[in-house]
């Protein structure tokens, strides 16, 4: 495994893309692992990709958590938008098609028993994975690599604070279409990318993304709003 990571470290592109591709592939396989297997799969893939990101941290210099009031404001605002968009549109008499409107969400209580220790272990694992692994994974891929790659093939020559309309829209669209709540995700991508351009670093967006996902996890569990997972 050490030599595998070493080969990835040697390529700036692979270092930023390979963990995301692995996570995506395992997510696709997750749905074929049975009702209970998908929960184990999530924990395993989060741990595996988290280990991979840790091993590549020296090769991805911009992957550093940064804590700022701007990150906190964006993280909380995106959470509010994510859970409030549907009710707002419903109140306004507007609806938008969901990519998977029949999805039931990720509810371990329904599989392992209401209030069971195993169900709570998977809930904690889900919140931890979405708050600690997903933010650096997605921010590195979308905001550091994809945005700059769309701007210029030699993406490392593009400063993080360089604003360009086409990369801004393309990255947000791709990010949005990778989520069931695609409209909220597109607006979310605008916010995170704007934060990167404003602060000229990736770490604030990683923190904002982590805060959004953590608050969303607490909200989902507290309200039983499982379709949001």
Taking the C-alpha atoms of residue 220 and residue 3, their distance in angstroms, rounded to an integer, is 40
The predicted pLDDT at position 3 comes to: 75
Any residues with CB less than 8 A from the CB of 48 and at least 6 apart, and which? Answer: 22, 26
Q: Say what the pLDDT of residue 1 is.
A: 59
Token pair 């409107």 is found at 101
The H-or-E segment that residue 190 falls in is: helix 182-199
pLDDT grade, residue 151 (50/70/90)?
very high
Confidence of residue 100 (pLDDT cuts 50, 70, 90): low
Express each pLDDT in 107-132 by its tens digit: 999 999 999 999 999 999 999 999 99
Q: In the prediction, which pLDDT does 49 show?
A: 97
Q: How far is CA 62 from the centre of its chain?
A: 17
| Res. 98: pLDDT tops 80 | no
């Amino acid at each position: 495994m050490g030599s595998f990571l070493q080969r990835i470290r040697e390529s700036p592109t692979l270092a930023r893309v390979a963990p995301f591709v692995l996570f995506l592939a395992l997510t696709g396989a997750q749905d074929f692992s049975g009702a209970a297997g998908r929960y184990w799969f999530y924990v395993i893939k989060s741990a595996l990709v988290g280990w991979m990101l840790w091993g590549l941290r020296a090769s991805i210099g911009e992957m550093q958590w940064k804590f700022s009031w701007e990150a906190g404001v964006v993280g909380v605002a995106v959470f509010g938008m994510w859970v409030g968009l549907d009710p707002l549109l419903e109140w306004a008499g507007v609806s938008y098609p969901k990519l998977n409107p029949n999805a039931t969400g990720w509810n371990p209580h329904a599989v392992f028993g209401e209030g069971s220790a195993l169900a709570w272990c998977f809930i904690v694992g889900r919140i931890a994975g979405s708050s600690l692994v997903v933010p650096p994974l997605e921010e590195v891929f979308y905001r550091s690599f994809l945005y700059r790659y769309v701007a210029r093939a030699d993406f490392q020559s593009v400063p993080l604070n360089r604003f360009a309309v086409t990369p801004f829209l393309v990255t947000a669209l791709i990010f949005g279409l990778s989520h069931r709540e695609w409209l909220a995700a597109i607006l979310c991508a605008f916010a995170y990318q704007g934060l990167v351009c404003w602060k000229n670093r990736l770490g604030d967006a990683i923190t904002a993304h982590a805060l959004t996902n953590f608050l969303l996890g607490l909200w989902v569990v507290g309200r039983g709003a499982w379709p949001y997972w």
